[in-house]
Amino acid sequence: MNIHPTAIVAPGAKLGVDVEVGPFSIIEDGAVLGDRCRIGPHVMICGNTTLGDDCEVHMGAALGDAPQDISYKNEKSYVRIGNRARIREHVTVHRGTAVDSATVIGDDCFLMALSHVAHNCHLGNRVILGNNVLLAGHVTVEDRVIISGGCAVHQFVRVGTLAFFGGGVRVNKDVPPYMTVNNDNTISMFNVVGLRRAGFNDAARAGVKAAFQKLYRSGLNLSQALAAIESTEVCPEVRYLLDFIHASKRGVCSSHSTHAQGGAIEE
């Protein structure tokens, strides 16, 4: 273990083996750091924050602070971060609002500089947030999603697995799995490269392509497109896409630009 003499590690913090803590960083009581974590300078890790093994946290990041939610009354809540997270400069991750609730980040996630993960967000595994990405409260981001720099995601939005965001996009509707968003609330294509890298076979990729064409290029409305897709036998990957859309409470992004409303993204 290598703790810089200017760092403050509270007696009630739990640190695994071979942990490094850089200058002027603070690890509060109740924080848990897994083995081989590397904490850079001027990092704040609040109590009730857990990091898995082999995480690296860079200069100025703040993990587990109180949510930016006016209903919060100092309830005990949590941040849980998985293994091998890479958290870059000045990232902020806030704990949950309700008692015993948590903000959860899965394994192998990469949060680039100045990105913000608000209270009660749930990120899956291998999620990448570009610089200055803003996730409002209760956002769900499924596995292997890439959100490019400067994007903003409204509270309670769901982002399906293997979705891809171009830079500077704002969304206040759900983004279905496998889809690419290059304008506000607008699906432009399906994530061809992402599906290939994820190991989707030819049949699965063809199924997703056919579903995309029915949903976003056929001229059918959403109900008609879903009915047309479901009238045929579909692969499990397309079934997952359909189930995601059926479960949406906010509505899903369309093929036509419907700009995110309301100015600032809410927490």
Mean pLDDT, rounded, of the chain: 95
Nearest-angstrom CA–CA distance, 52 and 59: 19
The pLDDT value given to residue 213: 96
The pLDDT value given to residue 255: 86
Q: Dump pLDDT digits (tens) for 34-73.
A: 999 999 999 999 999 999 999 999 999 999 999 999 999 9
Residues whose CB is less than 8 angstroms from the CB of residue 7 and which lie 6 or more positions away in sequence, other chains included: 21, 22, 23, 24, 25, 26, 27, 39
More confident residue, 84 or 265: 84
Q: Which domains does the chain have, with CATH numbers?
A: 2-199 (2.160.10.10)
Task: Output 135-139 pairs: Cβ under 8 A, ≥24 positions apart.
Answer: 136/265, 136/266, 136/267, 137/67, 137/69, 137/97, 137/266, 137/267
For 24, phi and psi rounded to 5 degrees? 65, 15
The pLDDT value given to residue 51: 99
Pick the closest to residue 162 from 209, 196, 113 (CA basis).
Answer: 196
Paired strand residues for 129: 111, 147
Classify the C-alpha dihedral 120-125-130-131 as positive or negative.
Answer: positive
Nearest-angstrom CA–CA distance, 129 and 248: 23
Instruction: List helix spans (H) across 98-221.
Output: 192-197, 202-216
Q: Dump pLDDT digits (tens) for 72-127.
A: 999 999 999 999 999 999 999 999 999 999 999 999 999 999 999 999 999 999 99
